[in-house]
């Protein structure tokens, strides 16, 4: 992606935060302040635990480096011949989207 130093910055296109569900939406209030407060606390604790788990999963995915591999050839010509023989040149010649390559090769990697 090339930078365009003559264009103006786009305002309002910064961070895109997902709105969290209301953790108190399922609390059934009884009118008893002590019981209602305990129910709210329980609901909030569950929401925090779930959010912590989501963040842990996000962090693992963001920092995992074992999602790629490299294939090497003796020469550029050998690499180009391989890509041509595989009929995947439209995907690129250096960095190839693994999901796109799997689709071209008829490999279902999404069924976990």
Average per-residue pLDDT for the chain: 87
Q: pLDDT band for 19, please (50, 70, 90 cuts).
A: confident
- Helix/strand/coil (H, E, C) string of the chain? CCCCCCCCCCCCCCCCCCCCCCCCCCCCCCCCHHHHHHHHHHHHHHHHHHHHHHHHHHHHHHHCCCCCCCCCCCCHHHHHHHHHHHCCHHHCCCCCCHHHHHHHHCCCCCCC
Window from 15-19, 43-47, 92-96 with minimum mean pLDDT: 15-19
Model confidence over 38-75: pLDDT tens digits?
999 999 999 999 999 999 999 998 898 888 899 999 99
């Amino acid at each position: 992606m090339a930078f365009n130093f003559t264009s103006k910055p786009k305002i309002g296109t910064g961070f895109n935060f997902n709105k969290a569900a209301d953790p108190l939406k399922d609390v059934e209030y009884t009118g008893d302040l002590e019981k209602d407060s305990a129910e709210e606390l329980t609901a909030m604790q569950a929401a925090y635990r779930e959010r912590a788990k989501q963040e842990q999963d996000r962090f693992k995915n963001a920092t995992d480096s074992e999602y790629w591999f490299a294939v090497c050839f003796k020469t550029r010509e050998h690499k180009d011949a391989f890509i041509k023989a595989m009929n995947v040149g439209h995907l690129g010649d250096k960095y190839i989207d693994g999901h796109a390559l799997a689709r071209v090769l008829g490999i279902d990697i999404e069924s976990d």
